Structure 1
Amino acid sequence: MSLLPVFPSFTSLAELAPLPPLPLALDLPTLAWAGLALTLAYTLFALLGFGTALIASPPLASVLPVAQVIPLLALLDFAGAASRAWRARRNIATAELRRLLPGMLAGQTLGIMLLVQLPAPLMAGLLGSFVVVQGWRGLLAAQPEATAPGAAPAQRAIWPALCGGLLGGLFGSGGFMYASYLERQLADRQAFRATQAVLIALSTAWRIALCVVAGSLDRALLLTALLLSPSLLLGHWLAARIDAGLNRQRLRQLLNLLLLLAGSLLIWRHLPL
């Protein structure tokens, strides 16, 4: 049986978000602002394993065409996550990866189908509210005991995998669901980051493939990603310096504070005027 009917029309996707022309040479103030936003986003990403779309999207959308922001972040996210996953491949928790991957792929497929069905402001408001609730729950809950990889029931991974994939397909920002799950499951921080990097790399690769099919990637966007790639490197360098003084409890607090901030910004940005 063909699976093609379950996917939305890529022609309708391109019509839904027509791409305005992007200049090949961005002015210095625009590059500086975008670079600053991305440096902050990738510092947090290197520490927590998520956060680039949630943190970088609002400032980037103020200086770049909105239709270009998600493909741009997907390119940079994939480069950073794939590189990190390859360097830390010996630390990947394969048991947790196998539990999360099927749900993530199913959730991404559902998210892409809903993308062309539901109004974006409504979904953004719901996402923001959901993220804020997750952040508050994490801050108010007692610190959980980490378990060894594979010790928890496999069913525990279904909810974060499906929701993370769904939110990633809709908004490019579902990594916090995987991070929240893995942070509880993996006591080894290197295993946490390596496994999260693989999930982000696979998720963004899927989104890049869809952008290619939908015609959302062009030479101008690739050049923009290349010009802004130093911000990715700088963010990872800063994270390596910060990480030395960041214990597990502080990492967990930072993760949940980031959820509160990102969710609040998303709600505020889509409030009706």
Structure 2
Amino acid sequence: MFSSFPPLVFLDWLPTWLALVLAYGVFTLVGFGSALVASGPLAQVMPVARVIPLLALLDFSGSALRGFRARRAVAWGPFARLFPGMLLGQLLGVLLLSRLPGRLMALALGGFVIWQGIQGLRRAAASPWSGRPAFWHGLLGGVLGGLFGSGGFVYAAYLQRHLESREAFRATQAVLIGLSTAWRLLLCLVWGLLDLALLQTALLCLPAMALGVFLGHQVDLRLGREQLFRLLHGLLVVSGSALIWRQFA
């Protein structure tokens, strides 16, 4: 079954499954972050080039269901402004993923994520938007999603400043992530990064993802809007720091 990497026993995968539970708990709360939380532990048990397509499979499973349930709350205006840039960005990101080494890009991503988190923590969640066009947010989020599976925070930064409704934010983010991961999966298939062995591995990870989603919903019931966005930006600082630390470790 695990033809793409050596046979593994349950204890080898236990820390990875626990990391996936945490990753999808976070994903349920803020609409992104699964790759930032889970990519390191996954890289300990399978080749790095396989991690991004695997997380895309799991992200799509979670986002598609969530987006379908909340489809009536989607803010289609902001969605339509982000969507074209996302499609082009994913194409560029997956192309780079299939051809370039990733250490320097990972360091750059870590620094950018930390900067975004600090900027978010320094201003109120409802502060006025800086004026940068939605297309460039979609493009940057798509490139980072294609390369690292972690572009959702760019979409969230845009939607956070345009949507007062928490339900609209969550629904729009879920639909964006679901469609972006579906597009990423198609591109990974075209460039030979997706195969049957990876699909089998994703099936084994589904219970951990489902548990993380369940726990995330339980925590979500106790969080207000301001707490949610403080958690979102705090997560960026921690995740970016962890990404940089992993490159040097």
State which of 103, 110, 113 in structure 2 corresponds to 1:128. 110
Change (3 A) 1:187 1:146: farther
1:20 deviation in Å?
A: 7.0
Q: Hey, what's the Cα distance between the residues in 1 that align with 2:25 and 2:210?
A: 9
1:116 deviation in Å?
A: 5.2
1:73 deviation in Å?
A: 0.6
* Percent identical: 55
State which of 55, 63, 66 in structure 1 corresponds to 2:48. 66
**Contact 1:20/1:65 (CA < 8 Å) preserved in 2?**
no
Q: 1:201-227: CA deviations, max 9, x gaps?
A: 111111211222233333322121111
| Match status 1:56 vs 2:38 | yes
| Match status 1:45 vs 2:22 | no
1:248 deviation in Å?
A: 0.8
Provide the residue aligned with 1:22 in structure 2: 5
Match of 1:185, SS state, is: coil
Q: Hey, what's the Cα distance between the residues in 2 that align with 1:223 and 1:116?
A: 21
1:74 deviation in Å?
A: 0.8
Q: Hey, what's the Cα distance between the residues in 1 that align with 2:88 and 2:12?
A: 37
Equivalences for residues 83-122 of structure 1 within 5 A: 83-115=65-97, 118-122=100-104
1:188 deviation in Å?
A: 1.4
Q: Hey, what's the Cα distance between the residues in 2 that align with 1:270 and 1:208?
A: 25
1:205 alignment partner AA: A
Q: 1:73-116: CA deviations, max 9, x gaps?
A: 11101111111111111111111110110111122223234445
Q: Which runs of 5+ in 1 are unaligned?
A: 1-18
TM-score (norm 2): 0.92
Tell which structure's C-alpha radius of gyration is larger. Answer: 1
**Contact 2:125/2:161 (CA < 8 Å) preserved in 1?**
no
Q: Hey, what's the Cα distance between the residues in 2 that align with 1:143 and 1:171?
A: 26
Matched residue count = 248
Q: Hey, what's the Cα distance between the residues in 2 that align with 1:269 and 1:120?
A: 12
Change (3 A) 1:113 1:228: closer
Q: Hey, what's the Cα distance between the residues in 1 that align with 2:97 and 2:202?
A: 24
2:5 alignment partner AA: L
**Contact 2:94/2:187 (CA < 8 Å) preserved in 1?**
no
Q: 1:31-54: CA deviations, max 9, x gaps?
A: 322211111000010110000111
State which of 236, 254, 265 in structure 1 corresponds to 2:242. 265
| Match status 1:78 vs 2:60 | yes
1:139 deviation in Å?
A: 0.8
Provide the residue aligned with 1:4 in structure 2: none
Q: Which runs of 5+ in 2 are unaligned?
A: none
Q: Hey, what's the Cα distance between the residues in 2 that align with 1:228 and 1:117?
A: 27
Q: Hey, what's the Cα distance between the residues in 2 that align with 1:94 and 1:143?
A: 21
